[in-house]
Amino acid sequence: MIGVTDPKVTLTPEQKAERYTPAKYMEMVSTVLGEIDLDPASCAKANEVIKAKKYYDLESNGLVQPWYGKVFVNPPYAEMLPWVSKLIDEYHNKEVEEAILLSNPSTDTTWFNHLCSASPYRCSPVFCYIQGRIKFLSPDKSVRVNQPRNPSMFTYLGKNKAKFYEVFSSVGNILKPIQCHSEVG
């Protein structure tokens, strides 16, 4: 097998960015969401593990497509702001019922602060900061050679926060709001 960091192999930037979420975490996502209606940043190969009813790939461009139902999104980390903005907009418009976003916890970025400010819309997100590093898979489903240098986090938007806490607290630390803005009198 040729690793993704093999000097004999030239990869496109898209191929270098390809990282598939391991089944262990997708089982957890499915436990919280039930069926996944949409993965807007995916491909056929990744969907073999994700098992979303529908997915958008690079060609169909999930940023310009409608989002709906229960969504899982693991977007390109180099382009987080448009993905987070789209997620918040679709959640605010009640097209997205529940969502789980996989990202790195870049708390100093515009996109992260935009995600945190989503709370006035319908309710604050809940974050799970993963202990250790996720061993993402390459397109051939082997563990990638060049694993992330940064940690990962899952962010939940929806009404089933207790279920998210129950399922994800086994793999990381949960940061949850004390109360939702909509609950403030």
138 found inside a domain: yes
**pTM of full prediction above 0.85:** no
Do the domain assignments include residue 57? yes
What is the tens place of the pLDDT at every residue in 109-165? 999 888 887 655 556 789 999 998 888 777 766 665 566 678 899 999 999 999 999
Sign of CA dihedral 41, 47, 52, 53: positive
To the nearest 10°, report the CA torsion of 103, 156, 183, 81: 30
**Domain contains 147:** yes
Does position 174 have pLDDT exceeding 90, yes or no? yes
Overall average pLDDT of the 3-32 stretch: 67
Which residue range(s) make up the domain with 158? 13-183
Q: Is residue 75 part of a domain?
A: yes
Is 6 domain-assigned? no
Is 8 among the domain residues? no
Tell me: the pLDDT tens digits for 77-114? 889 999 999 999 999 899 999 999 999 998 899 998 88
Q: Is 3 a domain residue? A: no
